Amino acid sequence: MSEKNVKCESCTNQKSQKFDEIANIIDLYKDKEGSLIQVLHLAQEIYGYLPLELQKMIATSMEIPLSEVSGVITFYSFFSTTPRGEHTIRVCLGTACYVRGGKKLVERLQEILNVQIGETTQDGKFTFEIARCIGACGLAPAMMIDKKVYKQVNVNKLESILSKY
């Protein structure tokens, strides 16, 4: 068996294990009213994103229409239907952050990372997003990488911050 086939077989096994883990979660939640968002959060945490194949499995297992699952996923910005980076960068563009330089942070990050808003870097390291408010107005301009908030960020600090990841 070639090395390529071994890798593909390993990928298939990992995918199957993730789907099995998600199926177990669905079994815990499927009879609870209003549990779709919780299931989607957990599924995305396990799988990394919510491709159509996974959406179909969730819809079938929870006995709800695929359109309902897809509608929830596309309505809420925290769900993704495409692979995401290892780390998520969110620049706050709420009023305080915007007027204190948030837009400049966005522009500079687009240059550094060579991506547009909503995209993932080619190396899969970062997904770049904006947020309307992260609740750190007194620290403006602010940004988050994963769950860590960086306060009073300016364009000169960005490369130093990113180097930690």
For 101-114, how does the pLDDT look when each residue is reduced to its tens digit (9 = 90+)? Answer: 999 999 999 999 99
- 81 falls within a domain: no
In which domain, by residue range, is 29 found? 3-75
- pLDDT computed for residue 3 by the predictor: 47
Q: Measured between alpha carbons, how far is 163 from 146 in angstroms, rounded to an integer? A: 14
Q: What CATH number is associated with residue 141?
A: 3.40.30.10
CA–CA separation, 156 and 38 (whole Å): 39
Q: How far is residue 107's CA from residue 42's CA, in Å, rounded to a whole number?
A: 32
* 64 and 112 in a common domain: no
d(CA 136, CA 154): 15
Domain boundary among 75, 109, 134: 75
pTM confidence score: 0.67
Question: What percent of the chain lies above the pLDDT cut of 70?
Answer: 93
Q: What is the pLDDT of residue 10?
A: 60
pLDDT tens string 149-159: 999 999 999 99
